[in-house]
């Protein structure tokens, strides 16, 4: 299906709402019926009906159709956060006694689920360095049911070979789930490589304007219906009509946003790489990235999220650099219009700072929609001021 069709038309039935170009926000909790027979039919299959907005809602449905098509999936569910998409995808597919093989250091709330919540239900997780397929092979136990991936990882940018992992999973009859937040479906389509379920934080590139928290999970119709009828309805974790409407609006421009960000990201990476106060820069589409070949092979683009390590001897120098930035904001999240930075030293105690540990001097940076020169000047001034 053509991208322009998905973003501009798919799922929209304009003749039903006065030929309005922008779809309505169907802000309703419930839907009424004229015939008992129709009501009964809806109850029999709530996943295909409009009964109550904790389940299906027409505005959310428009978005879900677009998101499924972007991933090349049969169906999609839209959640009120990426974290709840992770929770539902995993929770729906484990029972007491099961074992999960997860890539090392997945998103923090995936770790929380694997480390703290699932063990209470006798479900255990083994983490592996996902850069080598052997590590997955060695970690699989007779009771393993899921392989959980995140490629590229949003902190260390390590990749997993989607084709190899899905081949292994199919041999062993395991379910594969991949967090695709880094690339978005525009730049990586895990389902085409045989991955069963793909999720992402729609807070990031899908919405793209830093004003919505949401998530999406894609997979087969059968799997999405199963999750709809259990975790989705039971926990009431679906996206609201208003947020879905904002995401439909965000999607209209996703292609040009990502192109612009890709262009700027390369300029920032090249600027940082030649800088005397920079020790290293990590970005999957940089020729010096260790998994560059695989990145080019399975991703059609990379953008926005990078990390760099600055040279510094004291935590004060690192803090001065961050606090001297005038335009790049210090904040979590990414994928919006605004450039952001998170210093690694924000997650340690001040007196734990060790200048010989590069992680303490590391910055995760997100490049937004500002002009490259504007961002480079901001970085340059901050380097100059800090030491």
Ligand X SMILES: *Cc1c(COP(=O)(O)O)cnc(C)c1O
Q: How many CA atoms lie within 13 A of 75 on its CB side?
A: 12
Nearest C-alpha neighbor of 334 from the set 185, 181, 198, 193: 181
Q: Closer to ligand X at the Cβ: 203 or 298?
A: 203
Contact set for ligand X, span 37-76 (CB under 6 A): none
**Which positions from 72 to 111 touch ligand X by CB under 6 A, shown as an x/- string?**
---------xxx-----------------------x----
Q: What is the DSSP string of 249-304?
A: HHHHTHHHHHHHHHHHHHHHHHHHHT-TTEEEEE-TTSTTSTTHHHHHHH-S---S
Q: Closer to ligand X at the Cβ: 261 or 312?
A: 261
* Sign of torsion over alpha carbons 194, 199, 200, 206: positive
| Residue 59 in tokens | 């505005």
Q: Closer to ligand X at the Cβ: 201 or 240?
A: 201
CB nearest ligand X: which residue?
A: 82
Contact set for ligand X, span 146-165 (CB under 6 A): 150, 154
- Shortest reach from residue 304's CB to ligand X, in Å: 11
Is 201 among the residues that bind ligand X (CB under 6 A)? yes
Is 304 among the residues that bind ligand X (CB under 6 A)? no
Is 181 among the residues that bind ligand X (CB under 6 A)? yes
- Shortest reach from residue 201's CB to ligand X, in Å: 3
- Shortest reach from residue 184's CB to ligand X, in Å: 11
Q: How many residues bind ligand X (CB under 6 A)?
A: 12
Q: How many CB atoms lie within 10 A of CB 98?
A: 18
**Phi and psi for 177 in degrees, rounded to 5?**
-125, 135
d(CA 12, CA 20): 10
Q: Closer to ligand X at the Cβ: 42 or 363?
A: 363
Is 213 among the residues that bind ligand X (CB under 6 A)? yes
| Residue 9 in tokens | 């038309």
Is 264 among the residues that bind ligand X (CB under 6 A)? no
Buried b (16+ CB within 10 A) or exposed e, 157-176: bbbbbbbbbbebbeeeebbb
Task: Give the footprint of ligand X on this chain (CB under 6 A).
Answer: 81-83, 107, 150, 154, 179, 181, 201, 203, 213, 215
């Amino acid at each position: 299906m053509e991208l322009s069709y998905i973003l501009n038309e798919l799922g929209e039935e304009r003749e039903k709402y006065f030929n309005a170009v922008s779809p309505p926000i169907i802000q309703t909790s419930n839907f009424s019926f004229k015939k008992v027979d129709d009501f009964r039919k809806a109850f029999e299959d709530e996943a295909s009906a409009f009964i109550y907005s904790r389940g299906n809602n027409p505005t959310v449905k428009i978005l879900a159709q677009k998101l499924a098509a972007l991933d090349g999936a049969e169906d999609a569910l839209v959640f009120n956060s990426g974290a709840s998409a992770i929770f539902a995808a995993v929770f729906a597919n484990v029972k007491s006694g099961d074992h999960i093989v997860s890539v090392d250091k997945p998103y923090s709330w995936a770790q929380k689920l694997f480390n703290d919540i699932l063990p209470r239900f006798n479900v255990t997780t083994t983490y592996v360095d996902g850069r080598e397929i052997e590590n997955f092979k060695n970690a699989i136990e007779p009771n393993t049911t899921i392989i959980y991936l995140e490629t590229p990882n949003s902190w260390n940018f390590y990749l997993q070979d989607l084709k190899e992992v899905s081949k292994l999973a199919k041999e062993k009859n395991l379910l594969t789930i991949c967090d695709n937040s880094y690339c978005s479906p525009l730049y990586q389509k895990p389902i085409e490589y045989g991955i069963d379920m793909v999720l992402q934080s729609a807070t990031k590139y899908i919405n793209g304007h830093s004003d919505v928290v949401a998530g999406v999970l894609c997979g087969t119709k059968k799997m999405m219906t199963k999750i709809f009828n259990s975790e989705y309805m039971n926990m009431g974790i679906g996206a609201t009509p208003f947020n879905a409407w904002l995401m439909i609006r965000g999607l209209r421009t996703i292609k040009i946003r990502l192109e612009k960000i890709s262009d700027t990201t390369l300029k920032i990476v090249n600027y940082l790489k030649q800088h005397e106060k920079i020790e290293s820069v990590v970005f999957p589409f940089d020729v010096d990235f260790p998994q560059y070949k695989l990145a080019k092979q399975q991703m059609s683009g990379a953008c926005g999220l990078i990390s760099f390590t600055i040279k510094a001897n004291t935590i004060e120098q690192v803090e001065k650099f961050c606090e001297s930035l005038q335009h790049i904001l210090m904040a979590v999240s990414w994928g919006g219009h605004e450039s952001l930075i998170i210093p690694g030293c924000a997650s340690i105690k001040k007196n734990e700072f060790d200048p010989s540990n590069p992680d303490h001097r590391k910055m995760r940076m997100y490049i937004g929609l500002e002009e490259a020169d504007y961002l480079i000047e901001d970085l340059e001034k901050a380097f100059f001021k800090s030491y």
